[in-house]
C-alpha cells in the first residue's frame, strides 16, 4: 500500500485550458473513487469520509464547472462534464474507477452510468435527487 494522501486540494488543467478543482484523500496507489456531493457542495465534502476510508482507497472529490476552483464552461451540459472526469482519471493513470454520488450529485453519477459505463467498476447513489421538474404531490403519505 502506498503512503496516505493528506488533506490535498489541487487544480488540474484540462485539455481545453479550463481548470478543474479537486481534493483527494487516502492511498495514492489505491482504487480510485470519484465522489460528487450535493448541490452546491464543493470538494471539501470529501472530508466527511476522511476518518472512515479503508486502506487501498483513493477518494477524489471534484468541483463541478463554475463552482469553487473549477472554471465555468459556457453552454456545458451534465453529459459534457463526464469528459472532464475521464480526463482527470487518465491524468491519475486509471482506466477504471468507482463513482459515488450523494443528493444533488446523484444525477451526475447516473449520467456516468449512462455515458461511460466501460470506465466504471462500481456506481453508488445515496439520498438520490430526481429532476426538479418532477412534482412531489402525493409523495407525502400521511396516515389517517
Q: How many domains does the chain have?
A: 1
Q: CATH number for the domain including 16?
A: 3.40.50.1820
Provide CB contacts within 8 A for 2, sequence distance 6+.
27, 28, 29, 30
User: Does the bond joining 54 to the residue before it have cis omega, within 30 degrees of 0?
Assistant: no
Kindly state the DSSP code that residue 67 receives in the 8-state scheme: S
Burial (Cβ within 10 Å: 0-12, 13-18, ≥19) of residue 67: middle
**Consecutive H or E run containing 143:** none
Cα within 13 Å of Cα(108), Cβ side: 26
- pTM for this prediction: 0.81
Confidence (pLDDT) at 112: 93
Report yes or no on 14 lying in a domain: yes
pLDDT, mean of each 10-residue run, the chain (144 residues): 57 95 89 85 68 86 86 90 94 94 87 94 87 61 55
Report yes or no on 140 lying in a domain: no
Tell which residue, 108, 1, 95, has the closest CA to residue 61.
108
Q: Are strands 19-26 and 5-13 parallel, antiparallel or unpaired?
A: antiparallel
Confidence (pLDDT) at 108: 86
Report yes or no on 143 lying in a domain: no
Report yes or no on 142 lying in a domain: no
Report yes or no on 134 lying in a domain: no
Report yes or no on 138 lying in a domain: no
Domain containing residue 32: 5-126
Confidence (pLDDT) at 14: 96
Taking the C-alpha atoms of residue 26 and residue 7, their distance in angstroms, rounded to an integer, is 9
Amino acid at each position: 500500500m502506498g503512503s496516505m494522501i493528506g488533506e490535498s486540494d489541487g487544480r488540474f488543467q484540462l485539455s481545453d485550458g479550463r481548470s478543474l478543482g479537486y481534493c483527494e484523500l487516502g492511498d495514492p496507489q489505491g482504487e480510485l473513487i470519484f465522489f460528487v456531493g450535493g448541490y452546491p457542495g464543493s470538494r471539501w465534502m470529501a472530508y466527511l469520509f476522511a476518518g472512515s476510508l479503508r486502506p487501498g482507497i483513493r477518494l477524489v472529490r471534484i468541483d463541478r464547472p463554475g463552482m469553487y476552483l473549477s472554471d465555468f464552461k459556457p453552454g456545458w451540459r451534465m453529459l459534457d462534464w463526464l469528459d472532464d472526469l475521464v480526463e482527470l482519471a487518465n491524468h491519475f493513470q486509471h482506466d477504471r474507477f468507482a463513482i459515488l454520488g450523494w443528493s444533488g450529485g446523484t444525477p451526475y453519477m447516473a449520467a456516468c452510468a449512462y455515458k461511460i459505463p466501460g470506465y466504471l467498476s462500481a456506481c453508488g447513489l445515496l439520498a438520490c435527487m430526481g429532476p426538479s421538474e418532477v412534482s412531489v404531490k402525493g409523495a407525502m403519505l400521511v396516515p389517517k
